[in-house]
Amino acid sequence: MSNALLDLRNVTIRFGGLLAVSDLDFHIQPNELVGLIGPNGAGKTTVFNLITGVYTPTSGGICFDGDSVAGQSAHQITAKGIARTFQNIRLFNSLSVLDNVRTAFNLHLEGGFMSAIFRGKRFQNEEARVRAKALELLEIFGLDSVADLPCRSLSYGDQRRLEIVRALATQPRLLLLDEPAAGMNATEKVELMKLIRFTQERFGLAVLLVEHDMKVVMGICQRIAVIEYGRKIAEGTPDEIRRNPKVIAAYLGEEVSHDA
């Protein structure tokens, strides 16, 4: 699939003796909402980390929009257009809500260190522009009223949303969400589903969702890939996956997360 936005071919990674991911073939098209599921320890977060440059594959290739990104550092990959959120929320705890978003604008900042020291007209304009855009983003997600509060004071759900806003500030074309429904109750999950779909449409993104909650995954994903023990065992539409015997077997006897 040469017109795929994200293209993983034969990706394998070993940690010492442990084969965490093996021979993974996986693609995402622009504007697709794809889900990645699998039992605990299947390697979902490892795949995430491979795509975002935290890990380097032992073998195989990862291409984003035609460019190889395997082995690049995380910030270089983000610059290419891939952004992510984290399973355990990783906000910048000492900063305000607004500043959390501002930091993510650094990527597209024209002026750097020198500009910040000399503070000319161009710098002033850029600062104002960044602030305005950050507030705009926050407003879309309903967080502009708390912009100056420390991000630690936000509720869990709001923090998750802030993480998404921050990721969006890097102007990605592919957004990776790592278990965004973790810790949410049924109502919050419904909100989340709407939020993800809204984000995808509003910003024209491809989204890769790693999630345990079947309702969320089945509810919004256009396509789902299932991995077990580091290998892809199935791929298809939610309906196909629901009926796939291999998938059922992989989950058989395992507690799939309930609604709260």
Partner 1 sequence: MGIRFAFFISLIAGAVVSYLFTGHPEPSWTVAQLDDYLLNILILMGINVILAVSLNVVNGHTGQFSLGHAGFMAVGAYASATITLLAGKSLLGLLSPLGLMAQPCLFVTALLVGGISAALAGLLVGIPSLRLRGDYLAIVTLGFGEIIRVVINNTDTLGGARGLSGVPPYTTLGWTFGIAVFAIYIVGTLVNSTYGRGFLAVRDDEIAAEAMGINTTKYKVTAFTVGAFFAGLAGALYAHFIGYITPEGFNFLKSVDVVVMVILGGMGSTAGVTVAAIALTILNELLRQTEQYRMIIFALILIVLMIVRPQGLIGDIGKLLPRKKGGA
Partner 2 sequence: MNELFQQLINGLSLGAIYALIALGYTMVYGVLRFINFAHGDIFMLGAFSGLYLYNWIKPLTLGWPDMVVAVLVLFGAMGIAAILGIVIEKLAYKPLRARPRLTVLITAIGVSLLLEYLGQLRFGAAPCAFPTLVEPHVIQGLGGLRVNSVQLTVVVVTLLLLLGLRYIVMKTRMGLAMRALSLNPTAAALMGVNTSVVISFTFGLGSALAAAGGVFYASLYQAIDPFMGVLPGMKAFVAAVLGGIGILSGAALGGILLGVLETLVVGYSSFLGIPPGYRDAVAFVILILILLFKPAGLLGKTQREKV
| Residue ranges that bind partner 1, judged by CB under 8 A | 52-54, 73-75, 78-79, 83-84, 86-95, 99, 102-107, 109, 111-113, 115-120, 123, 126-127, 130, 166-167, 169-170
Determine which helix (DSSP H) or strand (DSSP E) holds 18, and give its type and residue range: strand 18-28
**For partner 2, how many residues bind (rule: CB under 8 A)?**
6
From the CB of 20, what's the least distance to partner 1, in Å?
Answer: 18
**In terms of CB distance, is 59 or 73 closer to partner 1?**
73
Residue with the two structure tokens 């975002």:
52
Q: Out of partner 1, partner 2, none, which partner does residue 156 contact, by CB within 5 to 8 A per kind?
A: none
53: left (phi over 0), alpha (psi -120 to 50) or beta: left
Query: Do residues 197 and 164 make contact, with C-beta atoms less than 8 angstroms apart?
Result: no
167 vs 195, beta carbon nearer partner 1: 167
Is residue 257 at the binding interface for partner 2, with CB under 8 A as the rule? Answer: no
Q: Which two tokens stand for residue 46?
A: 């490892």
Distance spanning both ends of the chain, measured CA to CA: 40
Least Å distance, CB 248 to partner 1, is 31
Cα atoms in the Cβ-side hemisphere of radius 13 Å centred on 218: 9
Longest dimension (CA), the chain: 64
Which chain residues interact with partner 2 by CB under 8 A?
Answer: 15, 45, 49, 54-55, 86
